[in-house]
Copies of this chain bind each other. A is one copy, B any other.
Amino acid sequence: MYLHTQLLINEIAADEPDPAAANALQEGLGGQFGEMRTMMQYLFQSMNFRGDPASKPYKDLLQGIGTEEISHVELIGTTISQLLDGSPRYQGKKSDPVDQPGAGGATPLNIALDTSNIHHYLVGAQGALPVDAAGNPWSGSYVYNSGNLVLDLLYNLMLESTGRLQKCRIYEMTENKTARSTIAYLIVRDQAHENAYAKALESLGVN
């Protein structure tokens, strides 16, 4: 059972809006090696976990990191939303359900034609989408759960390393502080998870 508290797992630094950086961060959210993937992969590995009581600590590890990844999805999604500026304001009890995009209509929507993913302005209302930086929707086929504990842990290790590699690349692509504060935090956490999976593998006799 899951609970939620209205705190982000890390603070997001203030900076200018930046649609290009927002799009690069989409890879860290909805990409093949992003936070939706890690969250779902560890959730499925936990739900399907079986074994003798001696293997319980491995299930706890997967469940613990998996829960943290939901908070990462929340963090990076909120960051993308903040980077996409001039979003439509909530218009209250108006009779007609059509929004007034761009700070109540002040920001012209035609900037959308030059952005990396026009869906940020056309399908969503300047918010995060469950897609990667090239616009591909997240797919359930990404989730790896072979049922073999050693292979699952080895894949998780590789997944965290690749996620970190991609985040280092995103970090180099932008100097926006909003983007960088979240990316830098996630790089540190990916490293911590790599270490945790490496130790778990070691305890199973795998180097």
Chain A interface (Cβ within 8 Å of chain B)? 1-9, 20-21, 23-24, 27, 30-32, 36, 40, 43-44, 46-48, 50-52, 54-55, 63-64, 66-67, 70-71, 73-74, 77-78, 81, 87-93, 95, 97-99, 101-102, 108-110, 112-114, 116-119, 121-141, 143-151, 154-155, 158, 161-162, 164-166, 168-170, 172-175, 204-205, 207
A84 and chain B: residue at smallest CB distance: B48
A110 and chain B: residue at smallest CB distance: B173
Q: Find out whether the CB atom of B5 lies under 8 angstroms from the CB atom of A169.
A: no
In the complex, which residues of chain B have a beta carbon less than 8 angstroms from the beta carbon of A124? 48, 145-147
Q: Find out whether the CB atom of B44 lies under 8 angstroms from the CB atom of A127.
A: yes
In the complex, which residues of chain B have a beta carbon less than 8 angstroms from the beta carbon of A95? 205
In the complex, which residues of chain B have a beta carbon less than 8 angstroms from the beta carbon of A168? 98
Number of this chain's copies in the assembly equals 6
Q: Tell me how far the C-beta of A135 lies from the nearest C-beta in chain B, rounded to whole angstroms.
A: 4
In the complex, which residues of chain B have a beta carbon less than 8 angstroms from the beta carbon of A66? 4
Q: Find out whether the CB atom of A134 lies under 8 angstroms from the CB atom of B133.
A: no
Most buried by B among A66, A162, A207: A162
In order of increasing CB-CB distance, the 8 nearest A-B pairs are A125-B147, A48-B127, A51-B90, A130-B140, A137-B140, A138-B140, A47-B77, A207-B207
Complex: how many Å from CA A149 to CA B123? 14
Q: Tell me how far the C-beta of A62 lies from the nearest C-beta in chain B, rounded to whole angstroms.
A: 11
Q: Find out whether the CB atom of A8 lies under 8 angstroms from the CB atom of B1.
A: yes
Q: Find out whether the CB atom of B44 lies under 8 angstroms from the CB atom of A99.
A: no
Complex: how many Å from CA A97 to CA B166? 11
Q: Find out whether the CB atom of B137 lies under 8 angstroms from the CB atom of A165.
A: no
In the complex, which residues of chain B have a beta carbon less than 8 angstroms from the beta carbon of A36? 40, 140
Q: Tell me how far the C-beta of A99 lies from the nearest C-beta in chain B, rounded to whole angstroms.
A: 5
In the complex, which residues of chain B have a beta carbon less than 8 angstroms from the beta carbon of A135? 134-136
Question: Contact partner of A44 among B112, B128, B133, CB < 8 A?
Answer: B128
A60 and chain B: residue at smallest CB distance: B6
In the complex, which residues of chain B have a beta carbon less than 8 angstroms from the beta carbon of A109? 169, 172-173
